[in-house]
Amino acid sequence: MAEPEPPSPAGGPVAPDRPVPATWRALVRTARPKQWAKNVLVFAAPAAAGVLDEPRHLLQASVAFVAFCLAASGTYFFNDALDAVADRTHPTKQFRPVAAGHISERLAKVVAVVLVLAGIAVAVPVQHGRLAGMVALYVAVTLTYSAWLKHEPVVDLGMVAAGFVIRAIAGGVATDVVLSDWFLIVAGGASLFMVTGKRYSEQIELGDASGAHRATLTAYSRSFLSFVRAVAAGVTITAYCLWAFENKAATGTQVWFEISIVPFVLAILRYAHIVEQGQAGAPEEVLFADRVIQVLGLLWAITFAIGVYA
**How remote is the C-alpha of 271 from its chain's centroid?**
15
Res 273: pLDDT = 92
Q: What is the pLDDT of residues 138-185, one digit of tens each?
A: 999 999 998 888 889 999 999 999 999 999 999 999 999 999 899 999
Higher model confidence: residue 42 or residue 252? 42
- Which residues, 6 or more positions from 146, have their beta carbon under 8 angstroms from its beta carbon? 75, 78, 79, 82, 83
Among 34, 143, 26, 23, CA closest to 82: 143
Give the percent of the chain with pLDDT over 70. Answer: 90
Window from 16-25, 131-140, 142-151 with minimum mean pLDDT = 16-25
Higher model confidence: residue 84 or residue 196? 196
Question: Alpha carbon of 66 to those of 41, 89, 116, 129, 261: distances in Å?
Answer: 12, 33, 12, 15, 30
Window from 2-16, 44-58, 86-100 with minimum mean pLDDT = 2-16
Res 4: pLDDT = 39
Res 211: pLDDT = 63
Res 206: pLDDT = 75
Q: What is the pLDDT of residues 235-245, one digit of tens each?
A: 999 999 999 98
Res 194: pLDDT = 93
Res 17: pLDDT = 54
Higher model confidence: residue 8 or residue 151? 151
102-140 residues labelled b (16+ CB within 10 A) or e (exposed): bbbbebbbebbeebbebbbebbbebbeeebbbbbbebbe
Res 100: pLDDT = 86
Higher model confidence: residue 209 or residue 299? 299
pLDDT surpassing 90 at residue 249: no
Kindly state the average pLDDT of the residues 196-223: 80
pTM of the complete model: 0.85
The top-scoring range by mean pLDDT among 133-137, 197-201, 212-216, 241-245 is 133-137
Window from 18-22, 136-140, 158-162, 215-219 with minimum mean pLDDT = 18-22
Res 203: pLDDT = 87
**How does residue 11 score in pLDDT terms, banded at 50, 70 and 90?**
very low
